[in-house]
Amino acid sequence: MKDTEKINTIRFYLEYFFKECTIYDNQDKGRRAHSFRIEGRGNLRLLTVAGEFLDNLTVSEIKTYLKEFQLSELLHKNAESRVMLTSDGLKVERI
């Protein structure tokens, strides 16, 4: 599942929209996903990207998806939550 270019595309997107935050990421083998932890502004935000999302989309498609579905706005509005990014769409879970 690990595709460095696709993961870096998501990381760069997050770094652009969360400039004042620290972003950590790691492979989440238990979920077959890649997880990002965004810390800053007094909040914690989690993003989990499903393995099938990374497997099924190209880098260009991922960029388009992130922009069209306004992932950054969803993450800003849902502090202290986990946003799940899957091939079926976005889902928010309270943490």
Give residue 55's pLDDT. Answer: 94
49-72 pLDDT per residue, tens = 999 999 999 999 999 999 999 999
Confidence of residue 93 (pLDDT cuts 50, 70, 90): very high
How many domains does the structure of the chain reveal? 1
Look up the pTM and report it.
0.92
pLDDT-based confidence at 2, cuts 50/70/90? low
In this predicted structure, what is the pLDDT of residue 41? Answer: 79
CA atoms within 13 A on the CB side of 78: 18
Look at residue 43 in the predicted model and tell me its pLDDT.
Answer: 92
- Domain residues for the domain of 33 are 4-94
